[in-house]
């Protein structure tokens, strides 16, 4: 496992509008570093403190927690601060974004109010896709017809 974890941490901090992309980047980073097992159950269970592996587990789990705390805005720290394991912290973040009505409403409003203005068509459609991906990450599926409707609605203005 890489001991220089901080050298290439994802720079985007977690906020309401980009959970899907944040989750993907941090997931890929942890997989690349060999730490994903602390999230997906492989190394999730803390060994008994008397076990010889305890110190190694504690050090690696601490590095994963460092990654998570570094990659979220300070106002999100309270949601993961008391987690006993990296998996628990990860699940706490997922629950917040999956079950937060305000997040759903905010993303829906962003989608309904998006405007092309002075950006290119490819950037405009990428922004729509980004919002739709964020909605998808919280189990709100936006089909292609609705995406087309959003684009056409902006053109009509």
pLDDT digits (tens, 9 = 90+) for 111-124: 988 888 888 989 99
Per-residue pLDDT in tens (0 to 9) along the chain, 157 residues: 444 544 578 877 886 657 778 888 999 999 999 899 999 877 666 777 787 778 888 898 999 999 999 998 887 888 899 998 899 999 988 887 766 677 788 788 889 888 888 889 899 988 888 888 878 767 788 888 988 888 888 766 6
pLDDT in tens, 73-82: 887 888 899 9
Q: Global pTM? A: 0.59
| DSSP state string for the chain | --S-GGGG---PPB-GGGHHHHHHHHHHHHHHHT-GGGTSSTTTSPPPTTSTTHHHHHHHHHHHHHHHHHTB-GGGGGGTTT-SSHHHHHHHHHHHHHH-HHHHHHHHHHHHH---TTS-HHHHHHHHHHHHHHHHHTT----HHHHHHHHHHHHH-
């Amino acid at each position: 496992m890489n001991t220089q974890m901080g050298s290439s941490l994802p720079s985007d901090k977690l906020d309401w509008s980009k959970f899907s992309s944040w989750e993907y980047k941090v997931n890929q980073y942890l997989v690349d570093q060999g730490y994903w097992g602390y999230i997906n159950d492989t190394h999730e269970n803390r060994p008994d403190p008397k076990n010889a592996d305890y110190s190694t587990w504690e050090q690696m789990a601490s590095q994963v927690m460092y990654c998570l705390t570094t990659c979220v805005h300070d106002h999100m720290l309270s949601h993961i601060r008391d987690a006993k394991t990296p998996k628990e912290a990860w699940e706490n973040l997922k629950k917040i974004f999956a079950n937060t009505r305000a997040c759903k409403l905010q993303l829906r409003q962003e989608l309904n109010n998006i405007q092309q203005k002075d950006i290119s068509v490819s950037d405009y459609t990428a922004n729509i896709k980004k919002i739709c991906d964020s909605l998808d990450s919280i189990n709100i599926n936006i089909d292609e017809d609705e995406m087309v409707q959003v684009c056409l609605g902006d053109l009509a203005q």
